[in-house]
Amino acid sequence: MTKNWFITNRMMLAFILLGLLIFLFIIVPLVKMIVASDFKILLDTILDSEVREAILLSLYAAFITTVVGVFLGIPLAYLLARVEFPGKKLVEGFIDVPIVIPHTAAGIALLFVFGRNFFVGRTFHLLGIDFVDSTAGIVIAMLFVSIPFLIDSAKEGFKKVDVRLEKVSRTLGASPWQTFFKVSLPLAWRSILAGSIMMWARGISEFGAVIILAYHPMIAPTLIFERFETYGLAYSQPVAVLLILLCLVVFIVLRTLVYWGQKT
């Protein structure tokens, strides 16, 4: 018993040290950058309208992306959670492809479809929506790389809802639509919200796919990249700090909300 405990303890010690190492690897660069920033320069950066616009555009575009993603992603997530069909594994595999391919490559693939040389892009052009160098292009790029997070999370959420709850609902007189909105959706809501937060966060952090479709108008990551390329580290850092702080605040607030909801 004593010996066992000692072995476990040594293992735990090693794990704690290794765990600490990787944790610091995540935390130190972020903290260092925030701490190293000059408050005055930071203030100047906030007052810089170009910076403000870029950050707002990032937040806004990621939000629109999430709304579109929720609307289009939930039906598929529900189908994948409830229906067995041949090739389902393949479909599920494809949904996760955007996570694994290089995002610049994703941007080029999107440009092929949503550019004006393909009927999809042309059709949208006729409706007055262009994807090259526009907010719509940013949304499309963000949607492509972030939708897997929502679909996967919502699917897991729906799977956890006992099918018999839906069956009981039907026998009590609810139509399939009523059953979905009164039973399935409210019960999977937490997973959908968690997926939406991940999707929104992933959208904000996207750079590669966005610059292929829309270098302008500039989202915050593009602006950080441009300032780094043009003026160097000192000028890109305050923008990066601002974006990180903002994202952290929103992320923490939303995560707290989800956690809070779980407890009640």
Partner 1 sequence: MIQVKNLSVDISDFTLRDINLNVEPGEYFIILGPTGAGKTVLLESITGLYPLKSGEIWLGGKEVSRIEPEKRNISIVYQDHVLFPHLSVKENILFGLRVRRQHQEELTNVLNWLSDLLGITHLLERKPDTLSGGERQKVALARALSIRPQVLLLDEPLSALDPETREDVQKELRQLHNQMRITTIHVTHDFEEAIALGDHIAVLGEGKIKQVGTPEEIFSQPNSEFVARFAMVRNIFTGEVIERDDGSTVFSSQGIDLIVVTDLRGNLHASVRPEDILISPEPLLSSARNSFCGTITYIVNRGATLYFTVKVPPDFICLVTRRSFEEMGLAIGHKVYITFKASAVHVF
Q: Residue 38, by phi and psi: left (phi above 0), alpha (psi -120 to 50) or beta? A: beta
Closer residue to partner 1 in complex, CB, 67/165: 165
Shortest separation between residue 183's beta carbon and partner 1, angstroms: 6
Maximum distance among all Cα pairs of the chain, rounded to whole angstroms: 77
| 244 CB-side CA count, 13 A | 17
Shortest separation between residue 167's beta carbon and partner 1, angstroms: 5
Closer residue to partner 1 in complex, CB, 165/253: 165
Shortest separation between residue 123's beta carbon and partner 1, angstroms: 37
Of the candidates 84, 76, 97, 68, the residue with the CA atom closest to the CA atom of residue 158: 76
Closer residue to partner 1 in complex, CB, 4/171: 171
Shortest separation between residue 166's beta carbon and partner 1, angstroms: 9
Whether 114 contacts 37, CB under 8 Å: no
Closer residue to partner 1 in complex, CB, 183/247: 183
Q: Return the structure tokens found at 47.
A: 């007052």
Site residues (vs partner 1, CB under 8 A): 84, 162, 164-165, 167-175, 178, 182-183, 186-187
Q: What is d(CA 57, CA 55) in angstroms, rounded to the nearest whole number?
A: 5
H and E: helices and strands count for the chain: 14, 0
Q: Which residues of 109-142 are buried (b: 16+ CB within 10 A; e: fewer)?
A: ebbeebbeeeeebeebeeeeebbbeebbbbbbbb
Q: Give pairs for 78-82: CB < 8 Å, separation 24+.
A: 78/154, 78/155, 78/158, 78/180, 78/184, 80/151, 80/155, 81/154, 81/155, 81/156, 81/157, 81/158, 81/159, 82/158, 82/163
Closer residue to partner 1 in complex, CB, 166/206: 166
Shortest separation between residue 162's beta carbon and partner 1, angstroms: 6
Shortest separation between residue 159's beta carbon and partner 1, angstroms: 15
Shortest separation between residue 200's beta carbon and partner 1, angstroms: 24
Closer residue to partner 1 in complex, CB, 84/229: 84
Closer residue to partner 1 in complex, CB, 32/182: 182
* Residue with the two structure tokens 């042309």: 122
